[in-house]
Amino acid sequence: MATAVIAVAAAVGGGLAGSAAAAGVSGYLASIAVGASAGAVVGGAIAAVGAVITGQDVGKSFKNGLISGGLAGAIGGFVAAKSAMALPEGNTDCSGKTA
């Protein structure tokens, strides 16, 4: 049970960190790369701390957190890039026309 909780926390933390880090980056590939990197770091850290608290193997948990956090961070980076590309630039009225 604790392993599943740690894995979910690492993935969620990695996804959030990835989307936040990629928010200021332009381009899909760069956003995905930045998101994956940030997600891996945060996911690995969360998993390592969770392993220490629950008395599990820290190395194995850290690797699992790197992987799940990195994948979730890459998805978060992609979503951030997709959202940024979808937003129109400039002032718009309700119809979406640029003023």
3-state secondary structure of 98: strand
Phi first, then psi: give them for residue 98, nearest 5 degrees.
-75, 130
36 near 18, Cβ under 8 Å?
A: yes
**Mean pLDDT over each residue of the chain, to the nearest integer:** 87
Dist CA 33 CA 39 (whole Å)? 10
In the predicted structure, residue 85 carries a pLDDT above the cut 80: no
Q: Which residue has the tokens 């629950």?
A: 54
3-state secondary structure of 94: coil
pLDDT at position 25, please?
Answer: 86
pLDDT at position 96, please?
Answer: 57
3-state secondary structure of 92: strand
Dist CA 12 CA 6 (whole Å)? 10
Q: Where would I find the beta strands (DSSP E) of 1-99?
A: none
